[in-house]
Structure 1
Amino acid sequence: MAFHHATATADDIEDATVSVPRTYAWVVFALTFGLLISDYMSRQVLNAVFPLLKSEWALSDAQLGSLSGVVALMVGLLTFPLSLAADRWGRAKSLALMAFLWSLATLGCGLAEHYEQMFVARLLVGVGEAAYGSVGIAVVLSVFPKRMRATLTGAFMAGGMFGSVLGMALGGIIAAHLGWRMAFAGMALFGLVLAVLYPLIVRERRIAVPRQSKAEARAMAAEGKSPLATLFASRSVICAYVGSGLQLFVGGAIMAWIPSYLNRYYQMGTDRAGVTAAVLVLIGGTGMILCGMLSDRLCRNSPDRKIALAISFCLSSCLLLSLAFMLPPGPLQLVMIALGMLVATGTTGPAGAMVANLTHYAIHGTAFATLTLANNLLGLAPGPFVTGALADRFGLDTAFQLMPLASLAAAVVFFYAKRHYHSDIERLSPVLAVPVGAHS
């Protein structure tokens, strides 16, 4: 679920995009999309080879969890500063450099001789991947008409999920036949090829977009409006950050540990476990899209209903996953896990809508970077580690029974947000006022 940092990072106040040939625009999309797939393949291949690393290096589950969580931690900490650096230095060059770094670091994972070397290599994977989602979607949106932004953003998010699925599935298959080192090498090779092609084809001068005028910014300051202040100006938006992160604790834990769970309790090999886990993750991605569509359809004239739906998604996932992991291994348990995954990611859409509604349009990029930080620091990073630590003490089956309780905490946070949402909107309305033509 670390694919949430690709959401709405392009500057919403831009009224024009660069005029580029449609064919070139689609080439830019294909290459940027391909690198996003490489990003998540390099990130998730580790989960497919957990059993092999545990056996070869005698690692604890907490150590395995830290190898997964450190990537999300680096992404959470570095997304915002590295995105700012890319805007200054050049987005196309930055994306290519990022891809080189995470691909070389992934190759380093395959060459690691012990846990400490693997940990450093995984940390560098996280550094390379930290800002790719935010900068990548900005590049894609800059070469297409504004009317296509929703479609392109959705496709970009799906690319992250598709890359996760491929990373686990192909990683498990390669590891089963050629060893876990070749699984990392295969992911690295794919990324390096695209990293070489990208700067040769995607030129900075053809994707640059106009920025907000300084005159407009000075005028807003003179009127006493402070867009940046809306980042943490309401209880509701803070709850959106925290609630989203707590709910992704569940998704991050399942994505990291479900291959090992299938290996230990279903006696599946790494190849079959990787494919089965990939299907479950893909169901989670489908749920993200379907729940978002449901939220928009049911809550068109009542935005606060989206918060009620977020609460229902949290409670439903807690109930379904708790029941699932109380069942004995078998087809019924897998069906219940799939149903739980379908709604576990459902809060992504409502949380994003809350952040957009409660922050000024001029700082939506910063607001979604903040949401990314919360998602990683509260969910995607600690989820795998805490679950691994619980597994060391109680067993992975018991850890999975306890893990859904994070959804209850998320539901409580969203409930608090719902109580204050309308008053926060009314209080912030003078600052949130959007000039005519600022949005498409």
Structure 2
Amino acid sequence: MHAHHIDDATDGDAAAIRSPARTYAWVVFALTLGLLISDYMSRQVLNAVFPLLKASWDLSDTRLGSLSSVVAMMVGILTFPLSVLADRWGRVRSIALMATIWSLATLGCALSTNYNEMLIARALVGIGEAAYGSVGIALVLSIFPAHLRSSLTAAFMAGGSFGSVLGMALGGMVAAQLGWRWSFGTMAAFGILLVLVYRLVVSEKKLASERPAGGRDVRGKPTMRVSLRTLMQGLFSTRSVKCAYVGSGLQLLVPGAMYAWLPSYLNRYYAMAPGKAAVGAAGFVLATGVGMIFCGIVTDLVSKKVPTRKWLVAVLYCLLCFASLSIAFRLPAGTLQIVLLGAGMFFSAGACGPSGAMVANLTPSSMHSSAFATLTLANNFLGLAPAAILTGFIADRIGLLGALQIIPFATFVSALAFLLGKRSYAADLQRLNAQRSQAAT
């Protein structure tokens, strides 16, 4: 998606725009975040009913994992082309259409009678959700001052964790009372209701008046076109930005796997009923969301005067997650394991805020939305898409516990990617700022 309409400041002029965000901007943020929460409720409610689906349709762990992974796979494949289309068509209309599609597809899940029908419905959920992350964050960043970048990115992305919490906890409770079909139906109803409110409150015309420094774009359509070659050069011009994409994606393999399999893990190894296991797992997902916001704010604070610290902080978050989860899954089931799992999940997506800020700083502001689409693509293809099915595939061979002992190594590799990116960050940023200065004169 091409954010030729986003009026972000670069690192050099971020301090110039310090005007406070207005009330309407926060209302738009709340509604856009609300739809992201609905997005993840529809996506993650499945995990709450894994044990029930496994029993109903006699599914292997690989097949169960595929029902989760197909959503992230469709998001990964379609993020970029649908983001470009959303830019052409207008973001507000695109957001409303996307939310309608994923909500109706979730209703389709409720009506599925076998694995194949569920797989198709889940793929449609992914198609509806594909461009929402990049379109939503681009819309939010376009109406806020640039100095809030890491905090806003982290808070917005954390909405995914809170949606997952609600989807799993509410889905588990509804399933326990009314059956798994009603779990999907409840999520679909929430999404449709929110779309109606969004369309009533948010409009392109009103957004245009909110943009800092008198935003250039009124209709949500690009004011300039760039060639594919120029776009690719802007998105992948430096080694450090490539490392940010890779580090962010690999890091998300861990929360992706945990979100999918923690309800089943608690069901199998702690003998919890599926409803209770879903609520318990939702607690760990909540820890991830709180951790993302905390880590984003801490990153902004410690890297305010020394921008390269973003990378070291991201490395630290990855290593804390790796250590906590690696030890946890080698301990017997019990209180200490639960505490370490919570700590690991708290840091499991901590590098999301720093990654978003790095990518925004290392790409031209006219391409920020394309850059976030690329980041979303990396997050899905390297992390979220393979997470559930890879874990299920390993679990079918060595058991779920064995699979969950292996998965945390992804965060260790992620830490290495961030370390590699840090080495060239200062030079890359200097070169990019020099190019911006040349273009401005």
How do 1:20-419 and structure 2 match up within 5 A? 28-140=28-140, 153-208=153-208, 210-211=215-216, 229-419=233-423
Asked if structure 1 preserves the Cα contact closer than 8 Å seen for 2:101 and 2:125, the reply is yes
Report the Cα distance in structure 1 between the residues aligned to 2:436 and 2:292, rounded to whole angstroms.
27
Report the Cα distance in structure 2 between the residues aligned to 1:96 and 1:240, rounded to whole angstroms.
30
Report the Cα distance in structure 2 between the residues aligned to 1:111 and 1:96, rounded to whole angstroms.
23
Report the Cα distance in structure 1 between the residues aligned to 2:224 and 2:98, rounded to whole angstroms.
31
Which stretches in structure 2 are left out of the alignment for 5+ residues?
Answer: 210-214
TM-score normalised to the size of structure 2? 0.86
Report the Cα distance in structure 2 between the residues aligned to 1:296 and 1:148, rounded to whole angstroms.
9
Residue correspondences, number: 422
Report the Cα distance in structure 2 between the residues aligned to 1:412 and 1:152, rounded to whole angstroms.
26
2:212 is aligned to none
CA deviation profile, 1:378-424 (whole Å, cap 9, x unmatched)? 00111111111000000000000011111121122222222222332
Letter in 2 for 1:279: G
TM-score normalised to the size of structure 1? 0.87
Deviates more, 1:59-68 or 1:353-362: 353-362
The offset of 1:315, in angstroms, is 1.9
Asked if structure 2 preserves the Cα contact closer than 8 Å seen for 1:45 and 1:167, the reply is yes
Report the Cα distance in structure 1 between the residues aligned to 2:290 and 2:151, rounded to whole angstroms.
15
CA deviation profile, 1:218-269 (whole Å, cap 9, x unmatched)? 9x99xxx967523111111111111111111111111111111001101111
Report the Cα distance in structure 2 between the residues aligned to 1:380 and 1:47, rounded to whole angstroms.
14
Letter in 2 for 1:413: A
Asked if structure 1 preserves the Cα contact closer than 8 Å seen for 2:138 and 2:369, the reply is no
The offset of 1:11, in angstroms, is 1.0
* Cα gap change, 1:83 to 1:341, in 2 (>3 Å): same
Report the Cα distance in structure 2 between the residues aligned to 1:304 and 1:293, rounded to whole angstroms.
16
The offset of 1:427, in angstroms, is 3.6
Report the Cα distance in structure 1 between the residues aligned to 2:431 and 2:347, rounded to whole angstroms.
32
Asked if structure 1 preserves the Cα contact closer than 8 Å seen for 2:267 and 2:277, the reply is yes
CA deviation profile, 1:26-81 (whole Å, cap 9, x unmatched)? 65445433322211111110010000011111111111111111111112222222
Asked if structure 2 preserves the Cα contact closer than 8 Å seen for 1:96 and 1:198, the reply is yes
Letter in 1 for 2:7: D
Report the Cα distance in structure 1 between the residues aligned to 2:108 and 2:426, rounded to whole angstroms.
51
Asked if structure 2 preserves the Cα contact closer than 8 Å seen for 1:227 and 1:360, the reply is no
The offset of 1:25, in angstroms, is 5.6
Letter in 1 for 2:407: M
Report the Cα distance in structure 2 between the residues aligned to 1:308 and 1:140, rounded to whole angstroms.
27
Secondary structure (helix, strand or coil) at the match of 1:381 reads helix
Report the Cα distance in structure 2 between the residues aligned to 1:386 and 1:131, rounded to whole angstroms.
24
Secondary structure (helix, strand or coil) at the match of 1:409 reads helix
* Cα gap change, 1:296 to 1:202, in 2 (>3 Å): closer
* Cα gap change, 1:335 to 1:151, in 2 (>3 Å): closer
Asked if structure 2 preserves the Cα contact closer than 8 Å seen for 1:227 and 1:431, the reply is no
RMSD: 3.2
Asked if structure 1 preserves the Cα contact closer than 8 Å seen for 2:5 and 2:216, the reply is no
Letter in 2 for 1:11: I
CA deviation profile, 1:99-131 (whole Å, cap 9, x unmatched)? 211111001111111111111100000111112
Report the Cα distance in structure 1 between the residues aligned to 2:87 and 2:308, rounded to whole angstroms.
34
Letter in 1 for 2:88: R
The offset of 1:155, in angstroms, is 4.4
The offset of 1:196, in angstroms, is 3.4
CA deviation profile, 1:151-195 (whole Å, cap 9, x unmatched)? 655543343322111000000001111110110011111112223
Which stretches in structure 1 are left out of the alignment for 5+ residues?
Answer: none
Secondary structure (helix, strand or coil) at the match of 1:357 reads helix
* Cα gap change, 1:57 to 1:131, in 2 (>3 Å): same
Identity, % of aligned positions: 58
Asked if structure 1 preserves the Cα contact closer than 8 Å seen for 2:150 and 2:297, the reply is no
Secondary structure (helix, strand or coil) at the match of 2:252 reads helix
